[in-house]
Structure 1
Amino acid sequence: MSNLERQLAERFGFPAFRIGQEDVIRNFLEGRDVLAVLPTGTGKSILYQFPKPYYSGAVVIVSPLVSLMMDQVEQLRLKGVKRVVALTSFQSVGERKNTLRNLHTFDYVFVSPEVMQTEQVKHALKSLHIGYFVFDEAHCLTQWGYDFRPDYLRAAEWIHKEFNKPLLALTATASPQARQDIKNLLKRPDMVEVVRSVDRPTIAVESIVVDSESSREKEIVQQITTLSGPGILYTQSRKKAVYYAAQLRKKGIRAAAYHGGMETMDRTLIQQQFSLGQLDWVCATNAFGMGIHKEDIRQVIHDHIPTSVSNYLQEIGRASRDGKQSFATLYYHPDDVSKSVYIATSDIPDEQDIQMFREMEIGEQKQRILDYWKTKLDDKHLVELFEGIRSTKQRDIYSLYNLLTSSRCIRSSLVEAFGESLSERPEICCSNCTNTLLAKQSLKLKDQSQIDNSKLDYSTRLAQLFP
């Protein structure tokens, strides 16, 4: 047993490191900045807790979601870590002032990128003795469109300018290009990369074509009411999220809708209810998932083509954190790809938006994007930047669509998109592999006496198989 393993057992009660953890910790303790790309459920809190005794000062964790921060604060406190606090938009003026006044008493300080931009918080952090910084969900630095977070970039720039401290960046999924982008945006080009395979052998991947919107809705509701949960249903529109949740409740399923148009407190409540097992299904737009600390998600369903392979893997990766057999099912129609391209690119400013900025209403998202980039580039280079982003978005969506609809092994194609090769296929692999049909041998039928396999098509048979 190594010295690090002894510490892991003594301090955290774990007999061994999970995949990639020791490499991240060892490199960081040797004084290197580290970008860790490890599968969901690897135990990222260990990565920023373990080095704490080796560094004098507080650990500052930049986190993109209030619900994610609150969940991590709660988990730390449950493990006996009391000197932890989150600086969030939920705090009243009095609470914020009190926290900042006593900031030096905390070992772990979570802060959102937006809150970090306030002068009070900047002043308090500059006065704080900081050991190192952590960027959680670091892939958000590279996101564009509906989820663009200019304050995440501003936070990275400010930290680079004001502090010379070690930096740890964490994410579950990042392509080689995304990893390079993260290092460039953090101004740490020499960061050590610790990257583990994106493959999740216990998640069977399905891609099922439908002939109409009504048949898609029917099949999704049938699958959810036939199979065991918990699960997440991802859809592209707020209206659809509400619709699916209502349909499931009619069937007696404990379900709720989740989307960006809801109040922050309501979204946080739904995440807590889902995490605690008070809800079985959440019907959500892409905004849902990063704050979820839930081991037993059995299904992730998509009714659309996501915006990239990375986003798709992020979303399906929320299943099977406990290592038990789970399914990721995507229902698609050939028209979906053009719809996804439109949704993914509609908030990217065009030349007219750039010229009319400040003179006319261009939409909140475009306003946020231009508020940031107008301080960086002139109009000519902005047009070039946004055209490039638009082309990249379109290419990413078509790449994922082609991957999911080809006759090749979907799992192999997914890992190859990240420069990997699949060394071994699990018995229950994907809907293009014949061994997927062996699911019957390892998954318990809900009611085997009622299933006549000779009269059911593939998708219906598989929809009635589950542990």
Structure 2
Amino acid sequence: MLQQALQHYFGYASFRQGQEEVITQLLEGKDVVALLPTGTGKSLCYQLTGKIKGAPVLIISPLLSLMQDQVNQMKKMGFKRVIALNSFLTREQFTQALNQLPHYEFIFTSPEMLQNELVTNKLRAMPLGLIVIDEAHCISEWGHDFRPDYLRLQTRLNYYNRPPIVALTATATPAVIADIKYVLQMEHASTYIAAIDRKEIHLQRKWFTTAQEKVNWIEDYVSTTLGPGIIYTSSRKRAEQLAEVLRKWHITVAAYHGGVSNEDRQLIQEQFLANDIEWIIATSAFGMGVHKTNIRHIIHETMSPTLSSYMQEIGRAARDGQDALATVLCTQTDYDVLQFLMDTLPSEPMIKQYYAGADQPLRELDQRLLAYWHSMYRCDEAIHYRDELYLSKRRAFDATRNYMETSSCLRATLVQYFEQSVQVVDACCTNCGLQDASFKELRRITHLSAQTPHWTLRLQQMLLK
């Protein structure tokens, strides 16, 4: 039956890894947490389930840009009754969409929108067939830090006769999976965990003395190396600076971050997908849900704050199964950046003053977290909760630092963080014989030839001493 439905609705002859197992569980009415690698078609798990059940599907998505991209992709695939219920809508559009909500097959929205009583009451009155938490690792990685509305899903999705929930992600440690189940109150959910290792992504780590040396290396690398590629930076300012440097080489490059308008971000994404832009310089705001199969390079100008986010970001390469190279650039001062990114929680004195009702200047982030904690915990409980979160962030920081410094296999270090095993192979990473080479010859040869060489040949050229 499932094979026939797959062929009928999507024209595929067979399922990819994990899809059939997840869909089978959902059709049996079970909650599921599914860890499926990037590029294995996680979205088909809920699309086909929705078609078979013939009931509306609610998809909770972390980013507006991702949500809009998913809607556009589904419409291109022939799905007509798809909508994104988000802040992009005018008040008139929102009211109209809410009134017509039962007529849609797939409804995308955010955790914040579900705090609106009009929305949740409307959804609870509908015969939903499935609730989807897309990029479900955000519940654990973002909810405790700066988006407490993710944690409020615990109450918003807990109602009588709710449909099955499927939580989908490409990266999650066992602790994160347990947190997802706890927040969504699906402790007895079935769990499908695929191997997280991506052998086609080769790992490179390079150390420098100064930040300027990093810039020089990026300039040389990108000016002599064909993309497509993504360079991740730690700030909007840095993204713009690097983009400006690379434009001098007449390379098609764009900076992508939260300061870019929604319209421009959408345009940049579409141009990148169409190969009109070769390199994207981005903060972590870019990449989630970007369905580009031939990304060959991922460069981190500064290491990601956690190995989970690093795995997410490098996983955007090599979706076509061909080889790609992920490079992280390191200096001693990067630890200060990572420490700053880790120290985002309100302090104990701030918590005490907030509970005492005292006036104090607060960042918007602190205000959101303290308001949520105040609604959930006593003051001493909030302090204990904060301390536990700090210890968790400290462990994540130590794991990231270990990756930057270890002399062991980088692939093994990364995969073992997720408590999975890996078979180490020669030249899989810097510590296992992977050698950097000059790419000037590579780009010059490519321009002189009438045909771009296959990536396997290009990787072999990369690995030559």
TM-based fold match above 0.5: yes
Residue 374 of structure 1: SS of its match in structure 2?
Answer: helix
Asked if structure 2 preserves the Cα contact closer than 8 Å seen for 1:83 and 1:107, the reply is yes
Asked if structure 2 preserves the Cα contact closer than 8 Å seen for 1:428 and 1:439, the reply is no
Q: CA deviation at 1:424?
A: 5.5
Q: CA deviation at 1:463?
A: 12
Deviations, residues 1-55 of structure 1 (Å, cap 9, x unaligned) = xx42333223211122111112111222222211110011111121001112443
Unaligned regions of 5+ residues in structure 1, if any? Answer: 450-460
Corresponding residue number in structure 2 for 1:14: 12
Corresponding residue number in structure 2 for 1:109: 107
Residue 375 of structure 2: SS of its match in structure 1?
Answer: coil
Q: For the structure 1 residues 164 and 210, does the alpha-carbon distance in structure 2 shift closer, same or farther, using more than 3 Å as the test? A: same
Residue 423 of structure 1: SS of its match in structure 2?
Answer: coil
1:118 aligned to 116, 119, 123, which one?
116
> What amino acid maps onto 1:431 in structure 2?
T
> What amino acid maps onto 1:421 in structure 2?
S
Deviations, residues 390-411 of structure 1 (Å, cap 9, x unaligned) = 2221221221221232111111
Q: CA deviation at 1:183?
A: 0.4
Deviations, residues 116-142 of structure 1 (Å, cap 9, x unaligned) = 222221232123221110010100100
Corresponding residue number in structure 1 for 2:388: 388
> What amino acid maps onto 1:377 in structure 2?
Y
Residue 112 of structure 2: SS of its match in structure 1?
Answer: helix
Q: CA deviation at 1:370?
A: 1.4
Q: For the structure 1 residues 391 and 464, does the alpha-carbon distance in structure 2 shift closer, same or farther, using more than 3 Å as the test? A: farther
Deviations, residues 177-230 of structure 1 (Å, cap 9, x unaligned) = 100010001000011111111111111111111111111111012111211112
Q: For the structure 1 residues 20 and 428, does the alpha-carbon distance in structure 2 shift closer, same or farther, using more than 3 Å as the test? A: farther
Corresponding residue number in structure 1 for 2:177: 179
Q: Is 1:281 aligned to residue 279 of structure 2?
A: yes
Residue 284 of structure 2: SS of its match in structure 1?
Answer: coil
Q: Is 1:465 aligned to residue 462 of structure 2?
A: yes
Asked if structure 1 preserves the Cα contact closer than 8 Å seen for 2:297 and 2:325, the reply is yes
Deviations, residues 318-375 of structure 1 (Å, cap 9, x unaligned) = 1111111111100001231232022221x21001221333622211111121121211
Asked if structure 2 preserves the Cα contact closer than 8 Å seen for 1:39 and 1:197, the reply is yes
Q: How many residues align?
A: 448
Q: For the structure 1 residues 369 and 162, does the alpha-carbon distance in structure 2 shift closer, same or farther, using more than 3 Å as the test? A: farther
The 2-side partners of 1:216 and 1:169 are apart by 38
The 1-side partners of 2:398 and 2:151 are apart by 27
TM-score normalised by L of structure 2: 0.90
Corresponding residue number in structure 2 for 1:370: 370
Asked if structure 2 preserves the Cα contact closer than 8 Å seen for 1:197 and 1:415, the reply is no
Corresponding residue number in structure 2 for 1:452: none
Q: For the structure 1 residues 145 and 182, does the alpha-carbon distance in structure 2 shift closer, same or farther, using more than 3 Å as the test? A: closer
Unaligned regions of 5+ residues in structure 2, if any? Answer: 447-457
Compute the RMSD of aligned alpha carbons: 2.5
Corresponding residue number in structure 2 for 1:417: 417
Q: For the structure 1 residues 305 and 53, does the alpha-carbon distance in structure 2 shift closer, same or farther, using more than 3 Å as the test? A: closer
Residue 286 of structure 1: SS of its match in structure 2?
Answer: coil
Q: For the structure 1 residues 145 and 391, does the alpha-carbon distance in structure 2 shift closer, same or farther, using more than 3 Å as the test? A: farther
Corresponding residue number in structure 2 for 1:433: 432
Residue 152 of structure 2: SS of its match in structure 1?
Answer: helix
Corresponding residue number in structure 2 for 1:453: none
The 1-side partners of 2:274 and 2:21 are apart by 32
Q: Is 1:353 aligned to residue 350 of structure 2?
A: yes
Residue 443 of structure 2: SS of its match in structure 1?
Answer: coil
Corresponding residue number in structure 2 for 1:310: 308
Q: CA deviation at 1:262?
A: 3.6
The 1-side partners of 2:58 and 2:263 are apart by 24
Q: For the structure 1 residues 219 and 464, does the alpha-carbon distance in structure 2 shift closer, same or farther, using more than 3 Å as the test? A: farther
Between 410-419 and 183-192, report the one with greater CA deviation: 410-419
Q: Is 1:446 aligned to residue 443 of structure 2?
A: yes
Q: For the structure 1 residues 414 and 224, does the alpha-carbon distance in structure 2 shift closer, same or farther, using more than 3 Å as the test? A: same
